[in-house]
Structure 1
Amino acid sequence: MAAHPAGRPAGSAARNGRRGAGAVQLAGIGTALPGEPVDNDRLSRRLGIASEWVETFIGTRTRYFAVDLDTGRARWSLEDLCTDAADRALADAGAEPGDVGFIVVATATPDALMPTTATLLADRLGIDGTPAYQLQSGCTGAVQAFALALALLETGAGGDRPLGLVVGGDVCSKHLDLCQDFRELPPGALVNYALFGDGAGAAVVSHGTGRAGSRAVLTRAEHRMSGLGLPPGQRLEWFGAADRHPYRPAATEDYKAIEHRVPAMALEVRDELLDALGWPPESVGHLLPPQLSGRMTERITRELSHGLEWDAVSCVAETGNNGNALVFLQLEKLLGGFGPGRRALGIAIESSKWIKAGFAVEAHHG
């Protein structure tokens, strides 16, 4: 049973909006979501969570799970989803695996500590003799992967292979125990079952402006840790046989801190991006806001675009929060109707250690 694409449509840049020699061309985009969408009624019947509560307080309508909701049996691995997304991105770019000079994978939920998903993906695609990097990160990982890809393209790391493959994905359901009595779980733990989902995305990138058929240009990708001295807002455990702890949850979040800090951090990223690019706010037509939950994303979007006619590009209410796949899902949605000369700002916030990330995208001028 194969995963399917998600709504598939039929940095170092110079300031003042000028594309520098290191602009990343987005030659192709592909995404993959496992199985069929799980709506709130289905989730309610399985977990005993009131569907009205999920809609009102979380605002996520559907999500996708790589595990069978009834049995907890894994149906897709992260490797499977990343391979499907990469295949679609290569097809979208009209490229072959032999054109790929390096791979960068971002994930918080690898199938194993070793071998890395990046090397397994390269093997599945039939790519050999190229660097394969893996970044361990949460919701800002995709932006980090694009930033690394830009650096690799600048240094010619791919040799005579002109393209890079940037991939992000997560299987969050591996941290959710579907075989327990959900009536005994506190509301804070039940939230994760409604909030998170699984998926993957991929982009084929090239250097400069030399590749015909590129969909758009990524003119900036930056990220920085901004949580010095602050406790983590989210923690994912990786237990081994020696340190497995039956009373320590695999995933924990400080939702109060997230609600307090993330909107302010997103506004900071918006202003820093506009200043660095020299873009007047009115010159931007699209906003790719941070993807947390449907309701939280709506709130942040209103604050980010207040007084501005920005078209918000969001997916989390339909896909669930699938971590490193989100930016690719947003980019795929954006590029489906991205007219010549249009501009977009993208923002991602990671609560693990309060990481801010942002990127800018420009459409070709015809």
Structure 2
Amino acid sequence: MDGREAYLLSIGTALPGDPVDNAQLAKALGVSEEWIEVFIGTRTRHFARDFATGEVRWSLADLCAAAAERAVAAAGVDAASIDFVVMGTATPDALMPATVNMVADQLGLDQIPTYQLQSGCAGAVQALDLARTLVTSTGGTGLVIGGDVCSKHLDLRRDLTAAAPSELVNYVLFGDGAGAVLLGPEPTGEAVALRRVLNRVTGLGRKPGQVIEWFGMADRDSGKQAINEDYKAIEESVPAMAEEILWELLDELGWSADELDYLLPPQLSGTMTAKINSRLNLPGAVEVSCVADTGNNGNALPFLQTELLLKQMTSGQKALAVAVESSKWLKAGFALEKL
């Protein structure tokens, strides 16, 4: 790769509509507000559908394009300088055309390579991994996007009094949103080096911890849950996996735990994030979290965290992000250093 590096030049994010708090959600779903606050630990979330009517107000492409436009504007460059687009999502607007191409269309991009990666919480990191490889091998500048619209799977007008806990939890856990960064070969703009990316599947022989179904015309009335979480397995496995990711990245980087200024932990929920932070035990690193206010909006989260990070980060400081995907047990993470 000719010794090239990849640098984060700018960032942009997008959250749809006004935040929906626990009181609103509890009333609509017929569940306890206290249960949401204690079990999930999330205060608010944003939905791309109107909370009262279910009307779609933003598509995933809309949110991703808005985040990308903000990233491009923050970098002070013309969209024509973008050489490729990589996007990670678990909830595309359609199977075809790929949502990344609808985003490119909204941005006025044409005649460049586009890539869409289908993944959950690790998808944004996978997109960074691919983009970093493209930047360091070609010297090009890439737009990296992560986003999800989880509310498309959740019928907020449905009677949930008899819903299984594995289904009900998804109504209070998830939100919608998008984020984007520009990645390039020179340290301009934010001048933050992307030092390392970890991206690995570790679920050989293991039952998935999360399943999101796709319903075609032939099976849409099958009665299957759209989203199914094995929350017990997730609670048991994710903290240990997060710890493994942390120390593996530190070892690869040659950084000591004491050198770490910021930690961007997994963002499944406010309660789970607190448990993970307790296990990681890095009192010298400032936690950068947002899930309690944004809900779990999947592939948007690493970029929402990074946006908060960049408002605090100063020259010479180091940050490490950890992400775990429970679908088929994926380890992911990345390291940033401010120049």
| Interval of TM-score (by shorter of Structure 1 and Structure 2) | over 0.9
1:146-168 CA distance string (max 9 Å, x none): 00001111221x7xxx4200000
Cα RMSD of the aligned pairs, angstroms, is 1.3
Give the counterpart of 1:84 among 31, 45, 66. 66
User: Which residue number corresponds to residue 38 of structure 1?
Assistant: 20
Alpha-carbon separation, structure 1, partners of 2:326 and 2:248: 19
User: Which residue number corresponds to residue 134 of structure 2?
Assistant: 152
Residue 241 (structure 2) pairs with residue 265 (structure 1) = yes
Identical amino acids, percent of aligned pairs: 56
1:82-122 CA distance string (max 9 Å, x none): 01000000011111110100000100000000001111111
1:317-353 CA distance string (max 9 Å, x none): 1000000000000000000010110001110000000
1:117-153 CA distance string (max 9 Å, x none): 1111111101111001000000011110000001111
TM score, norm. by length of structure 2: 0.97
Alpha-carbon separation, structure 1, partners of 2:262 and 2:157: 42
Give the counterpart of 2:150 among 172, 178, 186. 172
- One-letter amino acid of the structure 1 residue matched with residue 143 of structure 2: L
User: Which residue number corresponds to residue 316 of structure 2?
Assistant: 341
Alpha-carbon separation, structure 2, partners of 1:165 and 1:224: 22
Contact 1:22/1:150 (<8 A) preserved:
no
Offset at residue 70 of structure 1 (A): 1.5
Report 1:168-247 matches (<5 A). 168-207=146-185, 210-247=186-223
Question: SS of 2:145's equivalent?
Answer: strand
- One-letter amino acid of the structure 1 residue matched with residue 147 of structure 2: G
User: Which residue number corresponds to residue 139 of structure 1?
Assistant: 121
Offset at residue 191 of structure 1 (A): 1.3
User: Which residue number corresponds to residue 281 of structure 1?
Assistant: 257
Question: SS of 1:205's equivalent?
Answer: strand
Give the counterpart of 1:314 among 276, 289, 301. 289
Contact 2:15/2:176 (<8 A) preserved:
yes
Alpha-carbon separation, structure 2, partners of 1:228 and 1:163: 35
Alpha-carbon separation, structure 1, partners of 2:120 and 2:4: 26
Question: SS of 2:302's equivalent?
Answer: helix
Alpha-carbon separation, structure 1, partners of 2:55 and 2:146: 23
Residue 96 (structure 2) pairs with residue 96 (structure 1) = no
Offset at residue 211 of structure 1 (A): 4.2
Contact 1:288/1:312 (<8 A) preserved:
yes
Offset at residue 21 of structure 1 (A): 3.0
Contact 2:166/2:230 (<8 A) preserved:
no
- One-letter amino acid of the structure 1 residue matched with residue 155 of structure 2: D
Offset at residue 213 of structure 1 (A): 2.3
Alpha-carbon separation, structure 1, partners of 2:29 and 2:150: 17
Alpha-carbon separation, structure 2, partners of 1:351 and 1:230: 10
User: Which residue number corresponds to residue 106 of structure 1?
Assistant: 88
User: Which residue number corresponds to residue 3 of structure 2?
Assistant: 21
Offset at residue 172 of structure 1 (A): 0.3
Contact 1:215/1:335 (<8 A) preserved:
no
Q: Number of paired residues?
A: 339
Give 5+ residue unaligned stretches, structure 2.
Answer: none
TM score, norm. by length of structure 1: 0.90
Moved over 6 A (4+): none
User: Which residue number corresponds to residue 253 of structure 1?
Assistant: 229
Alpha-carbon separation, structure 2, partners of 1:348 and 1:228: 18
Contact 2:187/2:193 (<8 A) preserved:
no
Question: SS of 1:68's equivalent?
Answer: coil
Alpha-carbon separation, structure 2, partners of 1:22 and 1:298: 37
